[in-house]
Amino acid sequence: MYKEFFGLRANPFNVNPDPRYLFLTRHTEEALACLTYGIQSRKGFVLLTGEVGTGKTTLINKLLEWLRAQQVPTAFIFNSRMNVPQFLDYMMADFGIPCDTRSKSQILLRLYNWLLDRYRAGETAVLIVDEAQNLADEVLEEIRMMTNLETFTEKLLQIVLVGQTELEQKLKGLTFSSACGLPALTASRFLKGKHSVQFTAIRAGSRVW
């Protein structure tokens, strides 16, 4: 009913992490810049952590939108509770790499050759894993090994791990080219809420403001 009253085209308060409604606070802007910098500099691993509800998934949906607009090949893993074969299978399918084998070494070889082709074509492939704090140790180890796919100077696959703050604990010992964080909501961020509501309403087509 309020959609009609405010002249909205869509429900602006969906719980879905819809990137159209992303409100760029200083923190989200910094985190987005940090992610894009990490990917563009081709150093391998980028980490994004924050408490539940701080906007990580919304932000990476925005990042995915940006990467796809630039024709960057991406694979987005949103279900982190997979075993190694499921993980590899899903990643290959999402990258669009034809793969009819079940053998792990053959899958990795295909991935490597495909990444080399991308590299020669001047492209960067990006793997994004959401809720990475839930990754099984074996899957995390597989991901870590994939950063070894490299030329003499650059990593062939850029990996963005997104998760709750306990992920940092889980990844102790790994080095990241960029570690980006989204701080938990604080009073000062709540004060900015009015603008966020206004922004969301404008995006959703309000004629009232």
Rounded-to-10 torsion of CA 88, 134, 171, 125: 40
Give residue number: closest CB to Mg ion: 57
Considering the complex, what minimum distance in angstroms separates the CB of residue 20 from Mg ion? 17
Q: How far is the CB of 162 from Mg ion (least distance, A)?
A: 7
**CA gyration radius for the chain?**
19
Integer angstrom CA distances of residue 89 from 7, 72, 85: 44, 20, 6
Q: Select from 12, 48, 198, 186 the least CA-distant residue to 129.
A: 48
**Binder of ligand ADP out of 50, 73, 163, 181 (CB under 6 A):** 50
Question: Is residue 177 a contact partner of residue 48, using CB atoms and an 8 Å limit?
Answer: no
Is residue 164 near Mg ion by the rule CB under 5 A? no
Q: Which listed option, Mg ion, ligand ADP, none, makes contact with residue 193 (CB within 5 to 8 Å by class)?
A: none
Q: Among residues 12, 38, 55, 181, which is the contact residue for ligand ADP, using CB under 6 A?
A: 55
Interface residue with ligand ADP, options 3, 6, 34, 57 (CB under 6 A): 57
Do residues 12 and 201 touch, judged by C-beta distance below 8 A?
yes
Helices 104-120 and 84-95: crossing angle, nearest 10°?
Answer: 30
Of 25, 41, 57, 196, which lies in the binding site for Mg ion, with binding defined by CB under 5 A? 57
Q: Which is nearer to Mg ion, 87 or 130 (CB)?
A: 130
**What's 125's DSSP letter?**
E
Residues in touch with Mg ion (CB under 5 A) = 56-57
Residues in touch with ligand ADP (CB under 6 A) = 15, 17, 21-23, 25, 28, 50, 52-58
